[in-house]
Structure 1
Amino acid sequence: MGMALSLGRRGLGRVWPNPNVGCVIVRPNENGGRVIGRGWTADGGRPHAETRALDGIDADGATSYVTLEPCAHHGKTPPCVDALIGANVGRVVIATGDPDPRVAGKGVAMLRAAGIDVITGVREHEAREDMAGFLLRVTENRPFVTLKLASSFDGRIATATGQSKWITGPDARRKVHAMRAGHDAVLVGAGTVRADDPTLTVRNTGAVRQPVRVVASRRLDIGAANLLATLGDAPLWLCHGANVDAQKWADLGAKTLACDLQGRQIDPVDMMHKLAASGLTRVFCEGGGSLAASLLGAGLVDEIVGFTAGIALGAEGTPSIGALGLDVLDDAPRFDLIETTQVGADIMHRWHRASLHLGQKTHPVGPISR
C-alpha cells in the first residue's frame, strides 16, 4: 500500500476534478509477492489507476492494492470494479472509501458479490490526507486550501514602502514552485496583482501541468499584464462581485466567476463553493494579507506553509495577515505543527488546521467526472 500511496501522489495538481489514486497489482508467491502491475490516475483524471495497473498483465488470482474504493458507476470510463472483476483478481486491499454517492460502498459490495476478498482501511489516514481535496469537494463543497506565507521573522511581507523582493531566498522560492505544481490552482487577491503583476506559473521544475491562476477581485480593477500575456501557458480565472464588466475579461480568454459579497469583500465561502463547482480540489493561496485573513476568518484554511527569513522589518512593515477582528484569544484559528525544516537560508514550517475533519456527509458540487 505504501507504493500505491506514493504513486497516487504523482497525480497531485494534475487530475482534478478526480482523485489522485494509486494502484499496485501483486502476484502472491513464497516470498510474499511480486509486483506485476502499477498505475496512478492519468493527467486530466483518466484513465484511472486500476485500469492502468491492469493494462497488459495477467492478474488472475493477484492482489490489488488501491488507495480509494474502486468506482462502481459508468462515467466517461467504465467502472474500475468491472475491470478488477474481469481480470479475476483474488483480493482487493483498499485504503479508504469513496464518499461519492455513486460509489460509497457499492464498489466494495460488487467486488464481494463477485467472490473477491476485500480488505479496507489499510493506511487509511495517509490516503485521506493525500486525497483531502477530493474528499472535501464531495463532503463540504469546497477545495482543500493551503495558505503560503513568506515573511520576516517578525511576520512582515514587505517594507513600509511596499518593497518585498526578495524576503526569502532562492531555495525557498524554488520550493514554492514545486508546491504550486502539487495544487490545482494558485489564488491571489487583487492587491497582490496590482502590486507585483505576477505570472503565478510553475517555473524551473521541468515540464509540468500548469495550475489554474485564480484572482479574487471584487471590482476587477487589476492590470494583470503578465497573467494575460501567459494565457497560452496556464488558465486564468477571475472571481468577482456584481455590477462589473466581466465580459471584457472573458473576451480576452479568462474564465469569470461571479461570487456573493460579504460586506465590501468577496464572500470566501461562496468563492470556494464556486471553485469546487468548477472542479478544483486543491488551492494554493499566496496572499495578500486581506485575502489570507478572510480565508482564515471563515475557517477555510486547511494547511499553512510558512517560510520565515532571518530578517526583521519592524512594525511599519506590511503584516502577512490582515485584520481578523479578534478580541478573545480562544477565537483565534488554531493549527497543529506538522513539519519544520531548513530550506536554504530560511525555515519552512507546515501546520494543519486542528479541526480538519474529512467526514462522509456529502453536498452537491456539480459534475464529478469519475
Structure 2
Amino acid sequence: MNVPNSAADLDAAMQIAIGAAESARGFTSPNPAVGAVVLDAAGRIAGVGMTQPPGGPHAEVVALRESGDAARGGTVVVTLEPCNHHGRTGPCSTALIDAGVVAVHYAVADPHPEAAGGAETLAAAGVAVTSGLRAQDVERGPLRAWLHRQRTGRPHITWKYAATLDGRSAAADGTSHWITGPDARGRVHADRAKLDAIVVGTGTVLADDPRLTARLPDGSLAAHQPLRVVVGLTDLPPHARVLDDSAPTLLLRTHDVEEVLAALAEYTDVLLEGGPRLAGAFLAAGRVDRIQAYLAPLVLGAGTSAVSEAGVSTIDGALRFHHESVETIGPDLLLSLIPAVSEDPALSGNP
C-alpha cells in the first residue's frame, strides 16, 4: 500500500539527495553532480544514489539499484529533472518507469536541450511529477557551476581570497602565512577537492610557491585533484611546486581573461585564487560569478591589497555584490557573494 509522503518527509529526502550530490562534486564533470533518494511505498528510505564518473550510472539508477524491489510503488526525490536521452547511459526517465515508481519530485529542470523532457515522459506514463523542491538550495549548491555553464556556455568562476579586516592579503614585508586559521584552511582544501581547475598568476607562484593541491587533514592528497592553471608571461623556476607530479598543470602565457576562459572552455567549476592583479582583471572583465571572501580578525595597516586594477575609478563605478551567506569558521568569517543585479548597468556586477 502506497502511503502519501508528507512535505516534511520529501524535504528531508531532498536534503539527503543534496548531500549525496555534493559528495559527487569533482568526480562527475562534465556531467552534473546529482543526488537521488528512493522512498518505498511506506515512505521509508530504500536507496540513495549519486552520479558516478562519466560513463557510469546516473544518480537515479544508483538509487534504484540499491532499492531493488522496494522501489515499486515508491517515490523518488532527485536534485535534477531525470534525463530523457541516450548518452553514455540510457534515459533515467525510462529506468524510473520500469522500476514502477509512482511519484518523482525534483528540484531543478534540466536546461540541457538533449537531456530535457524527462518530466513529460514520466507524466505521460502516469507518474506523478512535481518540480521546485528546495530548488534554491540545489541551484546555489551542487548544481551551481553546472547550471551556469549550461546557461552561459562558459565556466563558473569563483574568486576566493583571504584577507585581514583592512583588506590585506599580505603584510608589508610580503609575508602571508597564515592570515586565516587552520579551520578555514581545511575548508579551502575540502573545496579544492570538488573543483575542475584552480587559476593563479605567475606572481603568486613566484611569491608563495604554492602546491595548489587538495589535501586531506592528515596532509595526504585527496582522491580528486583539480587542474592547476598558471597565467602570465613570466617563466617559472623548474623547481616550482606547482610543476610537481601531484596534479596536472597548465601554463597559459597570456594576461587576457577571455583567452584564459577559452583555454578552460571544457571545464565547469573553476576557482580563481590569486593574485590581486589577476583578480582585478577578472573583475574588470565581468567574469567573476561568485566571491568567497575569508576574513580574518586581523589588522595589518599596510601591505598587499587583495585586489588591484579592477577598472573602478569612482564610487559610482563600484562593482557591487550581495551576500548569499555568512559563516563562522573558527575565528574567521566566510562571506559568499554574487554580483548584484540592477536596472542601472553602472550599479550592476556581471552581466
Question: Which TM class, normalised by the smaller chain length?
Answer: 0.7 to 0.9
Q: Which amino acid aligns with 1:272?
A: L
Please tell me whether the aligned partners of residues 136 and 144 of structure 1 are also in contact (alpha carbons under 8 angstroms).
yes
Distance in structure 1 (CA, Å) of the matches to 2:58 and 2:134: 20
1:256 paired residue number = none
1:327 paired residue number = 313
Equivalences for 1:37-52 in 2 at 5 Å? 37-44=47-54, 46-52=56-62
Name the SS of the counterpart of 1:286 in structure 2.
strand
1:165 paired residue number = 177
Distance in structure 1 (CA, Å) of the matches to 2:331 and 2:226: 30
Distance in structure 2 (CA, Å) of the matches to 1:240 and 1:214: 14
Distance in structure 1 (CA, Å) of the matches to 2:299 and 2:89: 55
Q: Which amino acid aligns with 2:295?
A: T
1:228 paired residue number = 243
2:322 to 332, 336, 354: 336
Out of 125-134 and 206-215, give the one that drifted further: 206-215
Tell me: CA distance 1:298–1:121, structure 2 relative to 1, closer, same or farther (3 Å).
Answer: same
Out of 164-173 and 284-293, give the one that drifted further: 164-173
Q: Which amino acid aligns with 1:48?
A: H
Please tell me whether the aligned partners of residues 199 and 270 of structure 2 are also in contact (alpha carbons under 8 angstroms).
yes
Name the SS of the counterpart of 2:274 in structure 1.
coil
Name the SS of the counterpart of 2:118 in structure 1.
helix
Distance in structure 2 (CA, Å) of the matches to 1:148 and 1:72: 36
2:72 aligned with 1:60, yes or no? yes
2:25 to 5, 12, 19: 12
Please tell me whether the aligned partners of residues 307 and 349 of structure 1 are also in contact (alpha carbons under 8 angstroms).
yes
Tell me: CA distance 1:355–1:184, structure 2 relative to 1, closer, same or farther (3 Å).
Answer: farther
Out of 170-179 and 185-194, give the one that drifted further: 170-179
Distance in structure 2 (CA, Å) of the matches to 1:129 and 1:178: 17
Name the SS of the counterpart of 2:243 in structure 1.
helix
Q: Which amino acid aligns with 1:292?
A: A
Distance in structure 1 (CA, Å) of the matches to 2:75 and 2:333: 43
Q: Which amino acid aligns with 2:284?
A: G
Q: Percent of aligned positions with the same letter in both sequences?
A: 41
2:158 aligned with 1:146, yes or no? yes
Unaligned runs of 5+ residues in structure 2 are 1-13, 343-351
Residue 303 of structure 1: how far off its partner (Å): 2.0
2:233 paired residue number = 219
Distance in structure 1 (CA, Å) of the matches to 2:75 and 2:330: 43
Tell me: CA distance 1:328–1:2, structure 2 relative to 1, closer, same or farther (3 Å).
Answer: same
2:34 to 10, 21, 30: 21
Q: How many residues align?
A: 323
Distance in structure 1 (CA, Å) of the matches to 2:80 and 2:329: 33
CA RMSD in angstroms, aligned pairs only? 2.1
TM-score by length of 1: 0.81
Tell me: CA distance 1:117–1:340, structure 2 relative to 1, closer, same or farther (3 Å).
Answer: closer
2:222 paired residue number = 208
